[in-house]
A and B are shown apart, each in its own frame.
Chain A
Amino acid sequence: MEQQTFLADKIRTQEYFLNMGPQHPATHGVMRMVLKLDGEIIRNIDPVLGYIHRSIEKMCEHDNYKQIIHLTDRLDYLSAHMNNEAVALLVEKASGIEVSDRIKVIRTMMSELTRIASHTLWWGVMGMDTGALTTFMYAFRDRELINDIMEETCGARLTMNYSVIGGVRYDLHENFVKRVKDFIVHFKKKLPEYDRLLSDNVIFRKRTEGIGYITKEEAIAFGLNGPTGRASGFACDIRKLKPYSAYDRVEFQEVMATEGDAFARYKVRILEMWESLRILEQLVDQIPEGEHRVKTKAVIKLPVGEYLQRVETARGDFGVYVISDGGSSPYRLKFRSPGFANLHGLNKMSIGYKIADLIVNFSTIDVVVPDMDR
Chain B
Amino acid sequence: MMNLTIISEWLSHYIAAEVAFYAELIVIAVIYLSVFALLGLFLVWLERRVAGFFQLRLGPNRVGPMGLFQTLADALKLVSKELTGTSKADKFLYKLAPYFVIITALMAIAVLPFSGELQAFDVNIGLFFISSVSSISVIGIFLAGWASNNKYSLIGGMRTGIQMISYELSVGMVVVTMATLAGTLQLSELVALQKDGWFIFTGHVPAFIAFAIFIIAGTAESNRTPFDLVEAESELGAGYHTEYSGMNFAYYFLAEFVNMFIISAVAVVIFFGGWLSPFGITDNIPYVGVFWFLFKTMAVVFLMMWFRWTFPRLRIDQLLTLEWKYLIPINMVNIVLMALLVWLGLTF
Contact = CB atoms under 8 A, between A and B. Distances in A.
> Direct A–B touching in the complex (beta carbon < 8 Å)?
yes
Interface string B230-262: 001111110000000000000000000000000
A204 interface: yes
Interface of B: 51, 54-57, 151-152, 155, 225-226, 228-229, 232-237, 309-318
A136 B236 CA distance: 19
Nearest to A27: B234
B312 A130 contact: yes
Contacts of A138: 55-56
B235 A356 contact: yes
Contacts of B315: 206-207, 354, 356-357
Interface of A: 16, 18, 24-26, 40, 127-134, 136-138, 141, 197-198, 201, 203-204, 206-207, 354-357, 359
Contacts of B237: 24-25
A90 B236 CA distance: 43
Nearest to B308: A133
B312 A25 contact: no
A16 B150 CA distance: 12
Contact of B56 (A133, A137, A356, A359): A137
Contacts of A132: 225, 310-313
Contacts of A24: 237
A204 B315 CA distance: 10
A131 to B, nearest CB: 3
Give the top 5 A-B pairs by smallest Cβ distance, nearest first.
A131-B313, A137-B55, A130-B312, A132-B312, A26-B234
B318 A130 contact: no
Nearest to B233: A25
Residue among A131, A133, A134, A136 facing the most chain B CB atoms (10 A cut-off): A131
A133 B55 contact: yes
Determine which residue in B57, B152, B312, B313 has the highest number of CB atoms from chain A within 10 A of its CB, and name it: B312
B228 to A, nearest CB: 7
Nearest to B229: A356
Contacts of A127: 312
Given A134-B309, A356-B316, 10 more contacts: A40-B316, A131-B234, A132-B311, A203-B311, A203-B312, A206-B314, A207-B312, A207-B318, A355-B235, A356-B229
A201 B314 CA distance: 11
Contacts of B57: 137
Contacts of B310: 132, 134, 197
A203 B314 contact: yes
A28 to B, nearest CB: 10
B155 A40 contact: yes
Contact of A18 (B56, B151, B317): B151
A359 B232 CA distance: 11
Given A131-B226, A134-B310, A354 B151 contact: no
A201 B311 CA distance: 8
A162 B285 CA distance: 71
Nearest to B236: A355
A201 B56 contact: no
Nearest to A206: B318
Given A18-B151, A131-B228, A359-B234, A354 B55 contact: no
Nearest to A23: B237
B95 to A, nearest CB: 25
Contacts of B311: 131-132, 201, 203
Contacts of B229: 356
A130 B234 CA distance: 7
Contacts of A206: 314-315, 318
A203 B229 CA distance: 13
A359 B312 contact: no
17 contacts: A40-B316, A128-B234, A130-B313, A131-B233, A133-B51, A134-B309, A137-B57, A138-B55, A203-B318, A206-B318, A207-B313, A207-B314, A354-B316, A354-B317, A355-B235, A356-B313, A356-B315
Contact of A355 (B155, B312, B314): B155
A129 B234 contact: yes
A357 B233 CA distance: 14
Nearest to B238: A25
Contacts of A198: 312
A218 to B, nearest CB: 23
Contacts of B226: 131, 203
